[in-house]
Amino acid sequence: MAVDQRTRKSRLGNPTGGLSGPAIKPITLRLVWESSKAVQIPVVGLGGIETAADVLDYILMGATAVQVGTASFSDPRASERLADDVRMAFFDANLFAINELRGNFLPEIG
């Protein structure tokens, strides 16, 4: 919720709204990980993607693609910037294909 004390009305247009951005990333990362293990179709990761590291986190969990939402409000070119940054991150990590990373999360069990 977000309220305007002056008008005493919701700032969202509705009394309540959804949760988005970095706040949901831990939840959606887990959902991508679980989903990608359970289905044989592509999984799209979304929630809190603002940096190349965020994109790589989702790919590591098994995402085939990512969706950028909230970051686009503050930076309309966020998706373009992220594509360039991910390319550089792959180069820096000496990775040549997304499949070298996709779904290769190794949970530590102990």
What does 87-102 look like in DSSP terms, one character per residue?
Answer: HHHHHHTT--SGGGTT
Which amino acid type is present at position 36?
A: S
The residue to which tokens 């919720």 are assigned: 1
Can you give the pTM of this predicted structure?
0.84
Q: Match domain 17-100 to its CATH number in 3.40.50.12600, 3.90.1150.10, 3.40.50.300, 3.20.20.70.
A: 3.40.50.12600
Domain chopping of the chain, boundaries: 17-100
Find, among 57, 62, 68, 63, the residue nearest to 21 by Cα.
68
The residue to which tokens 């977000």 are assigned: 2
* pLDDT tens by residue, 2-58: 899 999 999 888 888 888 888 999 999 999 999 999 999 999 999 999 999 999 999
Q: What sign does the CA torsion over 9, 17, 57, 102 have?
A: negative
